[in-house]
Structure 1
Amino acid sequence: MHSNPAFDDAGRREHLYAGDVMVYGATPATLALVQFTRELVEEAFGALDPQTAQDEMPVEEFAALLADLKPRFIHHPRCKEILPQILAERGCDPERTYFDVPRLRTSTSDGYLTTGIAYAFHPHRDTWYSAPMSQTNWWMPVYPVTADNVMAFHPKYMTQGVRNSSRNYDYAEWNRVSRFNAASQIGKDTREQPKPEEPVELDPQVRLVPEVGGMMVFSGNQLHSSVPNTSGRTRYSIDFRVVDLDDVEAGRGSRNVDSECSGTTLRDFRRCSDLAPMPEELAERYDGRNVVDVPVGA
């Protein structure tokens, strides 16, 4: 674990691919994103405090509100302006760095809503969901968080495979069938998602608590999960994914110990400098089924 490390971007990626996790303090650009996000969230909830609104709203009404709010945030042009600024503050080359749209995540307290639009993630790797092994994840809280409502990392599995159902996941099929019906998944989530097929040791685990506007950065191949929220408040956070063009071209990244999904998320990424898409010829290289580098459990 590194706090405000001085690595350049290439050094940071090397450490992240090996399983290190980094925490950075707030910056002008991250605080600008926090402010913008709070404005959208608080406008949506009106007179209610977004962190405690779950105590005053029927769960169906809460889910419907999020179903409107989250896409507005994801596709708002202001996000595409701020994210390149955040990455520039961290030394990323705007001509070689690509990001996908940021997601607004919610984790409600005490099991109020844990499916669909507010899905509580089981232990998983983003690479089970067709992310490239060179993907890094950037995560920040919108309101203050505690150890009772963040995420948990399970670092022993960075080099140890877990038998899982990622072989059944294809990103293009997920986009066609499952992505757009999240709001209807209340009570029980019936969408097919990659999950462990053997017990996962959740302890020891690592929980980090960044300040508002602070950023956690970790590999998309890092096994992580949602912490059961017992804080009494809904947690709001932002995350987005980043890849470096040189690493995509060279096939650099974390070692694949258990991912067998097919397809790729690379077509979702846009270049920081001008929002140009990932070159199609590169995305095509990643369209096939992932091949595990080592036997699962090795």
Structure 2
Amino acid sequence: MSVILSNSRVNDDARRRMLFQGDVFLYGATPASSKLIEFARELTEEAFGNRDPQTAQHEMPVEEFAALLAELKPRFIHHPTCKKLLPAVMDELGMSQDETYFDVPRLRTSTSDHYLDSGISYAYHPHRDCWYAAPFCQVNWWIPVYEVVQENVFALHPQYFDKPVRNGSGRYDYADWTAVSRPEAAKHIHSDTRDQPKPEEEVDLETDQLRLVPEPGGIMMFSGAHLHSTVANTSGRTRFSIDFRTVHIDDVETRRSAPNVDATCRGTTLRDFYRASDLERIPERLAAEYEAEALAKVT
């Protein structure tokens, strides 16, 4: 059973242990997370011009909307301001800058009524990040940019946290994905033909479904091993949110993590992580070890 903790004061070591057991943490907006969403709004509203980004889908051809996002999202992802603000958010929640590593923040969108569910605004089927070669010590962060409602957030499916789901992760290789499939996202407008790890058996998405609705700038933290999915957006508004991921170097070294119940993918995302204190990459030795361990499990 997953427990939801609101504005918990447990230290980071205890929090990670609880996250690896399936618990979920929810925090109100902090000064740094508020600055992060303000920056995201600034870039987004500049890109959409005189249109409200949340309702612009009702005024634009879908191809134009997708092309706009294809320019906006990389601009946000790689902007140096984000690399300054994310460590500040982590610091406010008591995380060690020298021991915590993070990947680049993604600006996500979920459009309403299936306007754009593919490619650059992909509506995620049920999945674990660990099916996509994420380490099982990964912590996922999710922050809404504007106000969200239960009809446009995403759902966790905690009954599957320690229950295997037959899936297609065995066909997934992270190196191939980053070289070929990820750069093609913007080309997929009306459908998405990229082979992504999905359940290959029926899963119950309604029983025990968990939807949390943080305030703008509020923070949700959960294990990358949780099964989660995009909620079918029926709100009439496009949802904008930020997500990124963190790992603690001690967890990476010792393999302290959530359980792997069903992932058989190849590769590792560890090379995508930067140390919060100085933006150094995670040691290559560790990434190579994780790659070798993943390969050994599938050969």
Cα RMSD (Å) = 1.1
Residue 206, structure 1, aligned to residue 210, structure 2: yes
Percent identity of paired positions between Structure 1 and Structure 2: 62
Q: Which SS does the other structure have where 2:262 is aligned?
A: coil
User: CA contact under 8 A between 1:260 and 1:289: conserved in structure 2?
Assistant: no
User: CA contact under 8 A between 1:104 and 1:239: conserved in structure 2?
Assistant: yes
CA distance, structure 2, for counterparts of residue 151 and residue 20 of structure 1:
16
Residue 45, structure 1, aligned to residue 48, structure 2: yes
Residue 215, structure 1, aligned to residue 213, structure 2: no
Residue 280, structure 1, aligned to residue 284, structure 2: yes
CA distance, structure 1, for counterparts of residue 122 and residue 235 of structure 2:
17
Aligned to 1:149: 152
TM-score by length of 2: 0.97
Residue 6, structure 1, aligned to residue 6, structure 2: no
Kindly state the Cα deviation for residue 226 of structure 1 after the two structures are TM-superposed: 0.2
Aligned to 2:21: 18
Kindly state the Cα deviation for residue 290 of structure 1 after the two structures are TM-superposed: 3.5
Residue 271, structure 1, aligned to residue 260, structure 2: no
List gaps (5 residues or longer) in structure 2: none
Counterparts in 2 of 1:292 and 1:136: CA distance versus 1, 3 Å: farther
CA distance, structure 1, for counterparts of residue 92 and residue 295 of structure 2:
35
Aligned to 1:133: 136
List gaps (5 residues or longer) in structure 1: 294-298
Q: Which SS does the other structure have where 2:280 is aligned?
A: coil
CA distance, structure 2, for counterparts of residue 137 and residue 170 of structure 1:
21
- Look up the equivalent residue of 2:221 and give its one-letter code: V
- Look up the equivalent residue of 1:73 and give its one-letter code: F
CA distance, structure 1, for counterparts of residue 139 and residue 12 of structure 2:
11
Q: Which SS does the other structure have where 1:225 is aligned?
A: strand
CA distance, structure 2, for counterparts of residue 288 and residue 168 of structure 1:
17
- Which one of the candidate residues 253, 258, 264 is aligned to 1:260? 264
Q: Which SS does the other structure have where 1:286 is aligned?
A: helix
- Look up the equivalent residue of 1:35 and give its one-letter code: E
Residue 110, structure 1, aligned to residue 104, structure 2: no
Kindly state the Cα deviation for residue 7 of structure 1 after the two structures are TM-superposed: 1.0
CA distance, structure 1, for counterparts of residue 118 and residue 285 of structure 2:
36
Q: Which SS does the other structure have where 1:7 is aligned?
A: coil
- What per-residue deviation string (whole Å, max 9, x for no partner) do you get for residues 168-193 of structure 1? 00100101110101010011101110
Q: Which SS does the other structure have where 1:78 is aligned?
A: helix
CA distance, structure 2, for counterparts of residue 183 and residue 200 of structure 1:
29
User: CA contact under 8 A between 2:76 and 2:82: conserved in structure 1?
Assistant: yes
Aligned to 2:200: 197
CA distance, structure 2, for counterparts of residue 73 and residue 272 of structure 1:
18
User: CA contact under 8 A between 1:107 and 1:229: conserved in structure 2?
Assistant: yes
CA distance, structure 2, for counterparts of residue 230 and residue 40 of structure 1:
25
- Which one of the candidate residues 94, 98, 101 is aligned to 2:101? 98
Q: Which SS does the other structure have where 2:112 is aligned?
A: coil
- Look up the equivalent residue of 1:224 and give its one-letter code: H
Q: Which SS does the other structure have where 1:121 is aligned?
A: coil
- Which one of the candidate residues 153, 167, 172 is aligned to 2:170? 167
User: CA contact under 8 A between 2:267 and 2:295: conserved in structure 1?
Assistant: no
User: CA contact under 8 A between 1:263 and 1:287: conserved in structure 2?
Assistant: yes
CA distance, structure 1, for counterparts of residue 182 and residue 123 of structure 2:
15
CA distance, structure 2, for counterparts of residue 292 and residue 192 of structure 1:
23
- Look up the equivalent residue of 2:278 and give its one-letter code: D
Kindly state the Cα deviation for residue 203 of structure 1 after the two structures are TM-superposed: 1.6
CA distance, structure 2, for counterparts of residue 288 and residue 15 of structure 1:
28
- Which one of the candidate residues 116, 120, 124 is aligned to 2:127? 124
Aligned to 2:190: 187
Kindly state the Cα deviation for residue 6 of structure 1 after the two structures are TM-superposed: 1.1
Q: Which SS does the other structure have where 1:178 is aligned?
A: helix
CA distance, structure 2, for counterparts of residue 87 and residue 19 of structure 1:
20
Kindly state the Cα deviation for residue 288 of structure 1 after the two structures are TM-superposed: 3.2
- Look up the equivalent residue of 1:244 and give its one-letter code: H
Runs (4+) of structure 1 exceeding 6 A deviation are: none
Q: Which SS does the other structure have where 1:288 is aligned?
A: helix
Q: Which SS does the other structure have where 2:113 is aligned?
A: coil
